[in-house]
Chains A and B, each alone.
Chain A
Amino acid sequence: MILRTLRISGILLIGGLVVEALSLCWNNAFSFMSFAVVGGLFFASGMLLFLYSLVSNND
């Protein structure tokens, strides 16, 4: 279970990094919003999931 959570967390974070890379290809308000909203959501959920996996791991 913990390994699966780590995988999902990593995939979400990679998603955030891809959004960040794409957003840096343009310089306009849309790319900024993509980075802040979509990228931010990916990052936040990925990191929170990782932290959750730490506290829920009783092994």
Chain B
Amino acid sequence: MPGPQTLVFLLIGASILLILAVVIRPSITASREGKIVAFIALFIVPIVTMGVGASEHMERSEQTQFCLSCHIMEPYGRSLYVDDPAYIPAAHFQNHRVPADKACYTCHTDYAMFGTIRAKVEGLHHVYVYWFGTPMHPIQLYHPYNNRECLHCHSGARSFEESPTHTAMMSDLKSNKLSCTTSGCHDTFHPVDKLGQVKFWKPTK
């Protein structure tokens, strides 16, 4: 069974052939059937192919490799290899608490209704600013980090639910009144300004 990317390439190839048929013999549009073929080739097929391509690109944009392809994000990618479990992103990435190939997206998407769409729109904004604007320095989140993103995975997990510290403040954590990340408990993230002073973990393969 060919993979999704192969199918997209096959679709593009078939679309090109169909369009070529109209380009080489546009006179086919003299007949009614020819007009239908031209409409399919020059309107319907491009919309479908463009949609499939856009969907594939959107899927790929969730990958860590994609996020780190912008030069400005390189230090954040390196910070995932910091050899210190106190750093939340590094500990999550190195221990596969998040999928390594979707590390950025897993923590920085929005797990609310339409959250994926919102995350994609914000991602488009990142790309726009990177190419056509001036990225902020240092990079800041658009909104304060919502506990919902942590609880998406941790809520219901035994180690989280049975921790006396968490139990004591569970309602505040779940209502986002008390932030996981800024209340002094889990507040060490990407040490991009200290990368020259920290040790790095080297994966065995």
Contact = CB atoms under 8 A, between A and B. Distances in A.
A27 B43 contact: no
B12 interface: yes
B34 to A, nearest CB: 10
A50 B19 contact: no
Nearest to B67: A29
B63 interface: yes
Nearest to A50: B42
- Main SS of the interface on chain A? helix
B67 to A, nearest CB: 9
Contact of B56 (A6, A17, A24, A30): A24
B41 A20 contact: no
B15 interface: yes
B151 interface: no
A27 to B, nearest CB: 5
A33 B70 CA distance: 12
Interface of A: 2-4, 6-7, 9-11, 13-14, 16-18, 20-21, 23-24, 27-33, 35-36, 39-40, 43, 46-47, 50-51
